[in-house]
Copies of this chain bind each other. A is one copy, B any other.
Amino acid sequence: MNVNQKCINQLRCLSAEIITNAKSGHPGVALGATTIMYALFKDHYFYDVKDHNFMARDRLVLSAGHASALYYSAAYMFNFGLTENDLKNFRKLNSITPGHPEYGVTNFVEVSTGPLGQGIANAVGMAIGQTMVASRFNINKYPVFDNYTYCFAGDGCLMEGVAQEAISLAGTLKLNKLILLYDYNNITIDGKAEMANSENVAKKFRAMNWNVITVNNGNNYFFVTNAIARAKKSKNKPTVIIFKTQIGYGTQNAGKNTIHGKPLSVEELNEYKQKFGIENPYLLTKEIKDVAYKTLQRNNLQLEKWNNMFAVYKTSNPELYKQLNAFVENKSIDATKLLKDDVIAQNLSGRDANELILKELSSKMPRLCGGNADLVPSTKVYIKEGGDYSAQNRRGKNIHFGIREHAMGAVCNGLTIYLNNPTFCSTFLAFSNYMIPPIRMSALMNIPTLFMYSHDSYKVGEDGPTHQCVDQLGQLRLIPNLNVFRPCDTKELLGCYNIALKDKKPCVFALTKQNLTNISADYTEIQKGGYILAGDFGEVEILATGSEVELALKVKNILDGQDIKTVVCSFPCLEKFDAQAKEYQDDVLSRGKLLVSLEASNDNIWYKYIGKDGLKLSIEDFGKSANGSVLDDYFGFVPTGIVNKIKKILKN
């Protein structure tokens, strides 16, 4: 047996060992795809274990996150810093080897995966990021940014719509340094994948402008590594390598779906290890260590070459090097200074103000980029003069994702991580629910993807209930570790940007289509997330957000005129308000005897502030196709209607 086969057997048994030890995991995939992972780590994947050099290193995304046992085992074998103990703690509390790979938990993990399909879109985002920086800073003989993005995926990932969206986009964008390693075992949890899927995968990828390589025996090391080598030479197309493999290779249930979720019994494991001649999978023989050492040398050599090249680059291209430094520098930016007072004074709509801010921010934050799911004229989420990103213009800052909201979110997550900088994406707020999974992933990973949604209420009007928000704001606010902004005017929007830039975590911006009057307080107040805007103490206290704050002020005017003193509070960011000291919160919430919440949404969070005896003015049912102002009446979101409701309560 040659040494590669020995290493592969070791890796296979190691995966089986830690899965069985953890009493759970997904042995099937781990065992079937061993040769792919081995060849990738040994011969191709370029990683700088010591410094994680962000310019030089390749990116690897384990989209099939349930193959984590194999991933961790390979990382152990190839000296990525995992110990035997880490492997023994696989899937245990606070280990660095959780059930699915987690970004920020394990240092070589480039992105958290688990929900299928996401990883493919993340990888597309990372590959886009590489082209963006390469186009700016690579010059002849100096390929500073030249990394590959590898993505390991299975049948499940490929069936997901988010992956299909991302794959189509990647073909259009000609991301030739993206390599998708497709573990095609044709088995899913329910049985043969062909039950639900009969595609000609190769033809489908070709129709989407991909380079396609098929390896009929995914267990043959030589074929596998050669295929990856060929993929790396693709000139203007991303490559998929379709590796035909056998799930649960070597076990009694090889090729069967039953191996998907069930770990091997101790007896089966022992039999398995015996079959492959491995006594202790953790114990690497000198022969295997030598292989791993050679790989380390390959990596070190490549890094040394890169360092040498970069050293010359610095001195021979001082201007470009300066630009590069400026490009990657994380400057602190005061968002409240981005617009001039006379611009703020213009009573702009949320989307119009946002467009101006994006342009200014872009000039101070060169890595800022993002895109739209085909609604630029409506959402206006676009960096003016930033150019359109495309295969022909890698320097463009605006990406046209097509009508692919889900992939847009996940691609942006990959891009945010690659650029280590906020990226934005956009559609109508109503369609945020096409992309809850990537929003959740951004919050879980704590990365600053900015989700910018315009048309944030029923006021969009005639397009009807499918386009009108009711449940969306509340749904987004339920995602942990996510700032949801609903600013009432341009100043609040700037204040929200400041929160976003400081917090460096994912944020949602709910922006109006319609114009907003300037009414808000100073930036210190705004950044508390909720504050007293008008009034001091009174009978009534109205808590409002976004376009409803102006409505609340109108109601206050009427009530004040009738000697019912009213306080109005604006809540641009409930998450931020909740993070304030209890005393501050209590103070803000104790200014009126009757607490009223006013928001064109059905979010239940308001009960937290107004209590059982408060009055929740909200939209509890779906919208209607009609003019926005007609709907104001229909929903009772007009000053007189609200005044009457409040007075009725005060009477009782």
A479 to chain B: which residues have CB within 8 Å?
471
Check B402 against A189 for contact (C-beta < 8 Å). no
Contacts of A99 in B (CB 8 A): 462-464, 467, 625
Contact with B along A282-316 (1 / 0, CB 8 A): 00000000000000000000000000000000000
A155 & B464 in contact (Cβ 8 Å cutoff)? no
Number of interface residues of A (CB under 8 A): 117
> Is A50 an interface residue when CB atoms closer than 8 A count as contact?
no
In the bound complex, residues from chain B placing their C-beta under 8 Å from that of A402 are 159, 188, 193, 195-197
Q: Name the residue of chain B whose CB is nearest to the CB of A465.
A: B444
Task: Bits for A458-478, please: 1 = Cβ < 8 Å to B, else 0.
Answer: 000111111100110011011
**Segment 464-518 of A: residues with Cβ below 8 Å from B:** 464-467, 470-471, 474-475, 477-481
Query: Taking the nearest CB of chain B, how far is it from the CB of A575, in angstroms?
Result: 11
Please indicate which of the listed interface residues A115, A372, A374 has the most CB atoms of chain B within 10 Å of its own CB.
Answer: A374
Q: Which of B156, B160, B431, B634 is the one whose CB lies under 8 Å from A165?
A: B160
Per a CB cutoff under 8 Å, which of B172, B375, B480 touches A471? B480
* A156 surroundings in chain B (CB, below 8 A): 374, 403
Q: Which of A132-140, A199-207, A639-647 contacts B (4 or more CB under 8 A)?
A: A199-207
Interface string of A155-175 (1 = CB under 8 A from B): 111011111110011011000
Closest Cβ of chain B: how far from A407's Cβ, in Å?
Answer: 7
Is A281 engaged at the interface, CB distance under 8 Å to the other chain? no
User: Does A221 have its Cβ within 8 Å of any Cβ on chain B?
Assistant: no
Which residues of B have CB within 8 Å of A98?
464, 624-625
Complex: how many Å from CA A94 to CA B465?
12
Residue among A155, A440, A441 having the largest count of chain B Cβ atoms under 10 Å: A440
* Highest count of chain B CB atoms <10 Å: which of A113, A204, A376: A204
Interface string of A1-25 (1 = CB under 8 A from B): 0000000000000000000001011
Q: In the bound complex, do residue A474 and residue B478 qualify as a contact, i.e. CB atoms below 8 Å apart?
A: yes
Complex interface: chain B residues within 8 A of A403 (CB): 116-117, 155-157, 159-160, 188, 196
Which chain B positions have C-beta within 8 A of A471? 440, 475, 478-480
* Option from B163, B261, B464 in Cβ contact (under 8 Å) with A377: B261
**Of all chain B residues, which has the CB nearest A462?**
B91
Residue interface bits A615-647, CB-to-B below 8 A is 1, else 0? 000001110111100110010000000000000
CB neighbours of A443 from chain B (8 A): 622
Residue of B whose beta carbon sits closest to that of A202:
B207
Inter-chain contacts of A620 with B (CB < 8 A): 480
Additional A-B contacts beyond A160-B161, A190-B375, A480-B622 (8; CB < 8 A)? A92-B626, A172-B198, A188-B402, A189-B378, A195-B390, A203-B206, A436-B475, A480-B621
> A residues touching B (Cβ–Cβ < 8 Å)?
22, 24-25, 65-66, 91-95, 98-100, 102, 112-117, 155-157, 159-165, 168-169, 171-172, 188-191, 193-204, 206-209, 261, 372, 374-378, 388, 390, 400-407, 430-431, 433-434, 436-437, 440-441, 443-444, 461-467, 470-471, 474-475, 477-481, 602-605, 607-609, 611-613, 620-622, 624-627, 630-631, 634
